[in-house]
Structure formats: C-alpha cells, structure tokens
Structure 1
Amino acid sequence: MPPLPQLILLPGLLNDAGLWRDQISGLADVARPWVPDLTRGESIKDLAQGVLDQAEPTFALAGFSMGGYVAQEIARIAPGRLERLALLDTSIRVDTPERASRRQALTEAARRPGDFLGISQAILKSYIDASRLNDQDLTGRIVAMTQRLGREVFIRQNSLERQDGEAALKALKVPLLILCGETDQITPVAGHRAMAEAIGGAPPVVIHHAGHMTPMEAPKAVNDALRLWLQRPAGQR
C-alpha cells in the first residue's frame, strides 16, 4: 500500500495548529497532516519558502485565510510539487485601498501600550457565525489561540503584503477545492465565487451556519470536503 500523502495545513493570521485540531485527528486515516509555523517570516515569500524547505518533495496543500496567500505563493514558486490545493476562507486579490488602510490602522493600534487581546470576545462576532457566539468552548479556543501568539506575531503577519494569485492558480493542473463559511464577513462567499470563476475552478463549497473560522466552527463539514478532495483523481482540476 502506498504511503499516505503529506497534507500541509497552513494557518491564518494569529492561528497555530489549534486552528486545525479537528482536521489533524479527523483526516489521519487518509493523510499525514502537518501544520508549519507561519509566525516568523518577513514576507509571504519568506513564509512560502520556509514551508517548501521543510516539506516533502510533493504534498497536498490547504491554506486558510492568510495561509491561503502563502499557499498561492507556493503554487507560484513550486507548482510541480503540489499534488492538490485547497483554499479556505481566503482571497486571491491584493488588498483594496480601504482594506489596506484598515489593516494599517489595526497594526498601529496593536503597537500601543496595554494588553494585547488578539481576537477578543468583542470582535468575535465578525469571525464566527452568530449562532456560535455563546459557544464558550469554541470562543475560548479562538481567543486563547490568538492571545497565545500575541502582539508581535500579529504586527508581523498583519503587515505582510499580499500578491494577486490568479495567474499562478489558473496554471495549476491539480485537484482544487475552494471552501468558505456561509456567513464569513472577513472573506465573503461572493469573493470565493469570483475566485472560482477567475481561476477556472468548481464553485465553492459553502459551509452553512459557519463564519470565517470554518475549520473550528464546522470541523465535520470541513473534514468531509477535504476528504473528498484528497480522494479525487490526481492531475484533474
């Protein structure tokens, strides 16, 4: 029996392996999950090269949110090493001036003295579905993860310049999955539909009653989608 494929799971801004807890355990029978550290690079390209330096010769790759931009850079640098690609709750476009300004304001706010709250209870409503705001296990895990990584990681990651990924993704000839939460306010469904159309992929898988944090909010639905993607024939989009 051939060895299970390496499945690289790229976390988003202020996320670590805790984001992918249920994918690491739930997909262990069909893949060998690995979550790289994306907290140290000074550019998206640095992060992508760091992953490639540690990865096996070929691998399946899933990128969440900021990790989706790292996945796109990996597709740009080393497309021949990708066996398949999944993009979750992310974008392929550079920031609009409005979004860039908003990110800059958040970076400046994070530099001010005082406690760093990460994704605090006060702003969780923009990250998860409204139906989950009273789920103390879920919200506690998210808040703890972002506070665990802290101020300096937030400033570094939030300052990373995003690149447009359309050309790199259109050139790929591997199984693609685009997935997002139905009520994702950070990277809405409409953007994922436009992404799929732009790169010639299938329409996105939309996870009902989930916001931006789909791997944590809806682990079974995400795992089901990733399992089907992992089992699709190689060499076909």
Structure 2
Amino acid sequence: MPESRLPLALLPGLLCDQALWQAQVKGLSDIAESRVADFTTQDSVEAMARSVLEMMPQERFALAGLSMGGYVALEVMRQAPERIERFALLDTTARPDTDEQKRRRRGLLSLADKGQFKGVTPRLLPLLLSKRFLEVEAVTSVVMAMAERVGKEAFKGQQRAIMNRPDSRPLLPSITVPTLILCGAEDALTPPERHKEMAEVIPDADLVILGGAGHLAPLERPDAVTRALRAWLRR
C-alpha cells in the first residue's frame, strides 16, 4: 500500500451498501485507501458511528457520508473530532427529522413489521433519482438490488436510527477541517438549500451542486462525484 494513499471511510445511506460507492472506490484507488461502512446491524447513529471508528485502524482518516451516512458522519465528528482529517457530506442534512417525517417513518416500520417490506420499488425511485435516470436500468437496478441485499431487519434498524438522530446544526461551526458539501441539483429528499445552509456555517467548506443528479449522486454522476472527492482529498 503506497504511503501516499489517504485512508477514506465511505458511509452509505438508507438501504444502500458498498455498491453506492463502487465508482469512487475504484476511481480514487490511486490516492485513497477506501473502506465502506456496513450499517445493517445497528439501530442508532451512535452505534453506527462507533462502528466506523472501529472500522478505521488509522488514527486519522478522511470521512464522507451520504444521506443517512451523512447523519452518521456528523455523529463520528461529534464523538471523535480529533480523528477526522477531512470531512464530506453528500445529499444529506444536519437537521433532525420533522414530526411529519417521523410519522411517515413509523408508518413504514409498521408495514415492515406486518411483512410488507418492499425495499425500493419503481414508485419510490423518483425520490432517489433525477428524472433523467428513472428509465436507466443500469442505475435503477443497482438501487433496487442494494435495498434487497440490505433487507427488512436492517431497514427497520436504519429507520429507527434516522428517526432518533440529534440536531447536528449546533455542531457545524466547530468543524474546522477541509470540508466538501455536495448534492444533486434535483435532490428531492435533501434539496440544495439544506446544503447551502451547512456550507455557510462550516468554516472551511466548499459547496458543489451537480446538475442532472438527485439524491444518489455517486451513482447518477459517478465521474463528477469522484472528481469532487479527488479535489477535496488533495486540498
């Protein structure tokens, strides 16, 4: 392993696994030693954050999280800021769930408990992908396959973790490492306004908004996301 490669932790979102980051792991392999977290056995962002810290053997590492992975990344920063060398938040928010969002999550948990877990169906894809990718089977098949692999029990734990996460907005001004804030311009779940909000209060943050991408930018615009991460890792 070349000494010049930076250790990089990549954190996936709800119902996502290592396939979310496959293009970035490959595209950054010359400068980053990447590890993708597994969030299929925990039911709180605190436990997920501890698993990330245990996953990374190096004392300091770069950290990037998408959506739920962003909530966990913020918790890692809360638990062990001294270990984070660089920080990236993609398609996520520092805000906690609203009461309405919690109500919807409880409804999904109830359906899953009744055996009606359906993973990511074509009906849900418009929340995750920009319009241009809704008919691109090479992308939609990856999203649905990830959800199937993650499965019902992990989905339930992840929803509980998301629903009970803290408000991370008070943490943002204390983040002083080089930070990348990135989102798809068509992100319907965590829109660009949420990212501008974070970038404005993190002292050393760069904001990147990618056209033609929704909530899963690393799958929709893989080359653009890899370029943004490369620039961040080299900054």
Instruction: Give the TM bin, normalised by the shorter chain.
Output: over 0.9
Structure 1 residue 100 displacement after superposition: 1.3
Aligned to 1:221, which of 221, 224, 229? 224
Are 1:181 and 2:189 an aligned pair?
no
Equivalent residues in 2 for 1:71-110 (5 A)?
71-110=73-112
SS in 2 for 1:8: strand
**Structure 2: tracts of 5 or more residues without a match:** none
Aligned to 1:206, which of 198, 204, 209? 209
Structure 1 residue 129 displacement after superposition: 0.5
Structure 1 CA distance for aligned equivalents of residues 62 and 225 of structure 2: 15
SS in 2 for 1:90: coil
Q: Is the 8 A contact 1:197 1:203 kept in 2?
A: no
TM-score (norm 1): 0.93
SS in 1 for 2:101: helix
Aligned to 1:47: 48
Q: Percent identity?
A: 43
Stretch deviating more after TM superposition (203-212 or 215-224): 203-212
Structure 1 residue 203 displacement after superposition: 5.4
TM-score (norm 2): 0.94
Aligned to 1:124: 125
Stretch deviating more after TM superposition (190-199 or 25-34): 190-199
**Structure 1: tracts of 5 or more residues without a match:** 233-237
1:177-198: per-residue Cα shift (whole Å, max 9, x none)? 0000000001111111112123
Structure 2 CA distance for aligned equivalents of residues 129 and 62 of structure 1: 22
Are 1:153 and 2:154 an aligned pair?
yes
Aligned to 1:22: 23
Q: Is the 8 A contact 1:193 1:203 kept in 2?
A: no
Q: Is the 8 A contact 1:75 1:169 kept in 2?
A: no
Q: Is the 8 A contact 1:58 1:81 kept in 2?
A: yes
Aligned to 1:190: 193
Q: What is the RMSD of the two structures over their aligned residues, measured on CA atoms? A: 1.3
Letter in 2 for 1:180: C
Q: Give 4+ residue runs of structure 1 displaced > 4 Å after superposition.
A: none
Aligned to 1:235: none
What is the number of residues matched between the two proteins? 231
Letter in 2 for 1:186: L
Structure 1 residue 107 displacement after superposition: 1.5
Letter in 2 for 1:103: R
SS in 2 for 1:159: helix
Structure 1 residue 75 displacement after superposition: 0.5
Letter in 2 for 1:211: G
Structure 1 residue 98 displacement after superposition: 1.3
